[in-house]
Amino acid sequence: MNTRLTWICHGATAASRKALFPLDEPLEDKAVGEAAGMAAPPRADRIAASPALRARQTAQALRLDARTDPALRDCDHGRWAGRPIAAIEAEEPENLMAWMSDPQAAPHGGESFADLRTRVAGWMDEQSLLGGHVIAVSHAAVIRAAVAHVLQAPLSSFWLVDVEPLAIVRMTSNGRRWSLRFSISDH
C-alpha cells in the first residue's frame, strides 16, 4: 500500500527566536500571517497535528482541519523546558554535551533522541499501514527524527538536518520502506 506523508514544521515562536528550549508557546504574529499566506496543501486522507499550541495554530492558519495526535508532540526536554540553551551550557556544560553527542542521553530527565526516533518511526509505520496521503504538522525535532529514520542514518545525524519554521518535507512509503520525496510542485 502506498503512503504519502507531508510533514509541515510549525511556524516561528518567541522561544525559537530566543534559543530557548520550548514550552507550549503560541506562534509569533508574523508566523501566523506567513502560514496563512502559504499555498493550500494538497488534499489529504488524514491530517494530524502535535497537541502543542504552536502546531495547532499552524494547522489552523493553513486552513487544515487537523486532529491532534500525541505521537507528534515535540521532544520532551524535561527540566530544561523554557530555559535558554546558553544558561544550560553555562550551568551544565557536561550534560548539554552528553545530550548533543549521545543519542541515548537524556540528562534533562525528558526524552532521548533515540526514544524520539522510536516514537516517530512507530507513528510513521502506522501511517504506512493505512496508506493514502497524510499531512502532519509537528516540530523540527520530530521531522529530524523522521528523516533519520527514513535514511536509516545514525542518530548522530540528527544535528545535521536543519528544519526551518514552516518547512515542508515529503516522504513516501511503498509499505516496505520509506523514501524522501523531492518535487518542484506542491502536489
Q: What total number of domains does the chain contain?
A: 1
Whether 130 maps to a domain, the answer reads yes
What's the rounded Cα separation, in Å, for the pair 2 and 141?
A: 25
Residues in the chain: 187
In a domain, 186, yes or no: no
User: Has residue 132 been placed in a domain?
Assistant: yes
Q: Is residue 150 part of a domain?
A: yes
Q: Closest by alpha carbon to 135, among 3, 29, 13, 1?
A: 3
Dist CA 38 CA 30 (whole Å): 13
CATH number of 31's domain: 3.40.50.1240
Whole domain around residue 64: which residue ranges? 3-181
Residue 187 lies in a domain: no
Report yes or no on 87 lying in a domain. Answer: yes
Distance CA 160, CA 122 (A): 22
Task: Establish if 144 belongs to a structural domain.
Answer: yes
DSSP string, 103-147: TT--TTSS--HHHHHHHHHHHHHHHHHH-EEEEEEE-HHHHHHHH
Q: What is the mean pLDDT of residues 57-81?
A: 97
- Residue range 113-143, pLDDT digits in tens: 999 999 999 999 999 999 999 999 999 999 9
Planar angle of CA 112, 109, 120, nearest 5 degrees: 30
Question: Over the stretch 136-184, which tens digit does the pLDDT of each residue have?
Answer: 999 999 999 999 999 999 988 888 999 999 999 999 999 999 999 987 7
The pTM is what?
0.94
Q: Give me the sign of the Cα torsion angle 142, 126, 152, 156.
A: positive
The answer to whether 42 and 183 have CB atoms below 8 angstroms apart is no
Closest by Cα among 89, 91, 90, 56 to 72: 56
Q: Is the pLDDT of residue 187 over 70?
A: no
**Residue 149 in domain:** yes
